[in-house]
């Protein structure tokens, strides 16, 4: 998890996939649009059946276009609590604060340039030396 999220080519409203994160070999499916979420300004609720984020992300009930489950991220052993709402974030136009205890996410999640409601694409700043995206699998949609 020490590489940046690269720019999402051609993304206007989260209808296409997130590019592959270099070095992550088991996150090989795309993020498809989440039905009913129009601008990502609501919280991510707890995923039913997940008791502590120390297991894989299972399929989100009711989501029909997220074709496969999120598998466990190798090497991440301290992600054992749920993702709760980020206080003060109303439309994801401010930075993601650093996740305590994560030592290999080299910098905090910085502000996403040009993002006002997650309906447009942008970049996150991180180490330029690792800013290279691997090929993605074809869409499953």
Beta bridge partners of 57: 70
CA distances to 68, 91, 92, 118, 127 from 26, rounded to whole Å, are 11, 29, 26, 25, 22
pLDDT score of 85:
32
Residues of the chain with pLDDT under 50: 1-141
Beta bridge partners of 70: 57
Q: What is the pTM (predicted TM-score) of this model?
A: 0.11
Give the tens place of pLDDT for each residue, 92-133.
322 333 334 433 332 333 333 333 333 223 333 333 333 333
26-51 in b/e burial notation, b at 16+ Cβ within 10 A? eeebbebeeeeeeebeeeeeebeeee
pLDDT score of 140:
44
């Amino acid at each position: 998890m020490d590489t940046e999220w690269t720019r999402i080519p051609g993304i206007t409203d989260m209808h296409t996939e997130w590019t592959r994160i270099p070095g992550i070999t088991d996150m090989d499916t795309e993020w498809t649009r989440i039905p009913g979420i129009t601008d990502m300004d609501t919280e991510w609720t707890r995923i039913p059946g997940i008791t502590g984020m120390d297991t894989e992300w299972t399929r989100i009930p009711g989501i029909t276009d997220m074709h496969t489950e999120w598998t466990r991220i190798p090497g991440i052993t301290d992600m054992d609590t749920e993702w709760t709402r980020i206080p003060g974030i109303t439309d994801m136009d401010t930075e993601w604060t650093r996740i305590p205890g994560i030592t290999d996410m080299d910098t905090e999640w910085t502000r996403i340039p040009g993002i006002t409601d997650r309906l447009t694409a942008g970049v996150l700043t991180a180490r330029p030396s690792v800013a290279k995206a691997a090929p993605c699998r074809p869409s499953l949609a």
